[in-house]
Chains A and B, each alone.
Chain A
Amino acid sequence: MMIAARVTGPDRTRLTAPEFQPRPARRRAGRALFIMMNAQAGLFWMVLGLYGLGLFFALWRLAGARAYRLWPKLAIVLPAFLLHTGFLWEHGLAQGRCPVATFFETLVFIAWCVVALQLALSLAFRLNYLTVFAMPLVLLCLLAALAVGDRAAARIGARGIWLGTHAAVDILAFAALALSGVASLMYLIQEFQLRRHRLSTSFMLLPPMLRLQSLATWLLAGGFLLYTAGLVGGVAALVIQKTAHTCADAKLLWAAGVWFYYLVLVVGRTGGRLSGRRFAWLCLGGAVFVLATFALANAWSGFHRFDA
């Protein structure tokens, strides 16, 4: 009923009226945009499909307790990653800005950062099975992006170099923190098996526990530094662009809380006051909290909403 009312209502008629008698230049631009949008949608679905295939293949290897080597993994995930990069590039060109302004773009960019990081880690440290645990997060982000939809209007208001940098650096930080949670999850699974003497057939295929722990520590430290830099950029943007805000804003409080949580975690870990298991639980908890409440913090913010 709502759709019918929209189509037949006076607003809709007024909005679509120019399309019935378009000027040639506008028609060409419209067609180009239509083709581009379809190409982007195609790219998006291909990326989603290939990541899904990558996850399925990795799970199949793990379930069969078979070695998951780098080249078969790269054969699936690398093309997907390149297409993903192409999608973001095209999207950025179409919008004429860095594609980190809408919730859709943020989710797609987080997924891109997670894949980039886990590919780099796989190449550097032969952590191929990280894919099994990181890819569900990537797919979740992309599916959430699909559910949210690409609404250009739903973006955070005035953009500038400071805001763009703040957003991009913070998203990269979230990806690093999320991956530290993923590495911690892998550690906890093995820790549980080793402690309870319930070793699964795939136990010996996963990376050694202390390597995972040190990976989680490095990702946490790197993510924390990036997050700090991103927050500095955000504060600079607020001051330089003279954005109206209040210090009791939900997003600012959330960001400060998250920063403080990770500061305690970094200090606790480097000071040796956190055992391996506790550190892993806190890393995982932090990553889950950040990813689960990120959208809520934005929604409740006065100046940091995606539809502001």
Chain B
Amino acid sequence: MKPAGKMELVAMGLSHHTAPVEVRELFAVSEADLGAALVELAGDGAHGAVLVSTCNRVEIWAEGEEGEGLRAAIEAFFRRRGLAEAHREALRFWRLPDSVQRLYELASGLDSMVVGETEILGQVKEAYRIAHEAGRTGPLLNRLFQGAFAAAKAVRSATRIGRGSVSVGSVAADLAGQLFGDLTTRGVLLLGAGEIAETAARALLARGATRIRVANRSAERAQTLAAQLGGEAVPWEDWASACESVAVLLACASAPEPIVTSARLASVLARRKEPLFVMDLAVPRNVERSAGDLDGVYLYDMDDLQVIAERNLAARQEEIATCRQILRAKVAEFFRWMEARERIAGGRA
């Protein structure tokens, strides 16, 4: 780890922008194998390296002596994993200053499939932690990654890049949260026990909902899902009475005709004081459209929620330019630090 000449920071890798999943999975490195992969890179000549491997990307940041050696080291790593001529176009390479900008954008979620998502920041932090604990990060990489985490935080707090949910389930949970505030004391009734019901219910659980009830034509399936979600199953024919004590009705059963009619819902509403948030995620729809006109009922179907999710995503994309501006300032900060470091090193020499 002792640098001899001028140091350089490079990045190389492929992502969902450049490679299909069949190519990405060739190079994916599991968390358990990360340590060994970093040793491999060190053997090829990198003084330090951090490898970020997620379902959407495999990218490596490495520091070492200036020249082509560093690029060759990373290429050797990819070749050993089956890099063919056909994949070469998918592989991208960044030198300073682009390698810094690349990491800052990645950590801020600008390069993610869902722009502004935060999962990537956690994954980058984890990749850095593993490399750091394995003793595979030098001073440049340490400063680079700390800077990236700070930049991601600055971008998130100064812009709306992370605002507004972009998935149907999360949008529905957000709206229910905005209506009821605290969801911890509110119940949720699932009408149907399919995959969509489960995803939306999990989004509600993530926002604090606790009492989940599942009504499904197949009682067995209802019990299985209820057990998975920590809730309880109710008989299919009792859904209306179960609806009296919940705040959110999540309808996603498979049925050719509406199950929840206006008349049925009106009789339910007569026996409750609070409003009812109804999410109709089924196609064909489970809830009669006119039920949305009832006082105290807020009805959203799949299209309504999709429109909001798309609008939120568009709003996030509009923020990208502002985010890049903030990141440019952070990158400049990193270079000022690098220059100062080189001046000190030059003075000592």
Binding site for B on A (CB under 8 A): 65-66, 190, 194-195, 197, 199, 201, 203-204, 206-211, 272, 275-278
Is the Cβ of B163 less than 8 Å from the Cβ of A65?
A: yes
Contact of B304 among A190, A197, A275 (CB under 8 A): A197
A276 contact set on B, CB distance < 8 A:
275, 296
B177 within 8 A of A: yes
Measured CA separation A277–B308 after assembly (Å): 24
Stretch from B112-120, B178-186, B210-218 at the A interface: B178-186
Contact of B160 among A65, A209, A275, A278 (CB under 8 A): A65
Known A197-B300, A199-B308, A275-B296; judge A204-B164 contact (CB<8 A).
yes
- Chain A's nearest CB lies how many Å from the CB of B294? 10
Is the Cβ of A204 less than 8 Å from the Cβ of B315?
A: no
B77 within 8 A of A: no
7 further A-B contacts with Cβ under 8 Å, apart from A210-B274, A272-B273, A275-B296, are A65-B163, A190-B178, A201-B315, A208-B179, A208-B182, A210-B180, A275-B295
Sort A-B residue pairs by CB-CB distance and give the 8 closest, nearest first: A208-B181, A211-B181, A272-B273, A275-B295, A209-B179, A194-B298, A197-B304, A210-B180
Is the Cβ of A208 less than 8 Å from the Cβ of B296?
A: no
Q: How many A-B residue pairs have CB under 8 A?
A: 46
Binding site for A on B (CB under 8 A): 160, 163-164, 174-175, 177-182, 273-275, 292, 295-296, 298, 300, 304, 307-308, 315
Contact of B179 among A65, A197, A210 (CB under 8 A): A210
Looking across the interface, which residue of chain A has its beta carbon closest to that of B307?
A197
- Chain B's nearest CB lies how many Å from the CB of A138? 26
B177 contact set on A, CB distance < 8 A:
208
Is the Cβ of A204 less than 8 Å from the Cβ of B174?
A: yes
Known A199-B308, A210-B274; judge A194-B181 contact (CB<8 A).
no
Measured CA separation A209–B178 after assembly (Å): 6
Is the Cβ of A277 less than 8 Å from the Cβ of B181?
A: no
Looking across the interface, which residue of chain B has its beta carbon closest to that of A193?
B178
- Chain A's nearest CB lies how many Å from the CB of B336? 29
A204 contact set on B, CB distance < 8 A:
163-164, 174, 178
- Chain A's nearest CB lies how many Å from the CB of B132? 33
Is the Cβ of A195 less than 8 Å from the Cβ of B298?
A: yes
A-B pairs with beta carbons under 8 Å apart, 16 shown: A65-B160, A65-B163, A66-B160, A194-B175, A194-B298, A195-B298, A201-B315, A204-B178, A207-B181, A208-B178, A208-B180, A208-B182, A209-B178, A209-B181, A272-B273, A276-B296
Is the Cβ of B178 less than 8 Å from the Cβ of A203?
A: yes
Most buried by B among A199, A276, A277: A199
A272 contact set on B, CB distance < 8 A:
273
Measured CA separation A207–B177 after assembly (Å): 10
- Chain A's nearest CB lies how many Å from the CB of B150? 20
Measured CA separation A211–B183 after assembly (Å): 12
Measured CA separation A209–B315 after assembly (Å): 24
Is the Cβ of A210 less than 8 Å from the Cβ of B273?
A: no
Measured CA separation A208–B207 after assembly (Å): 14
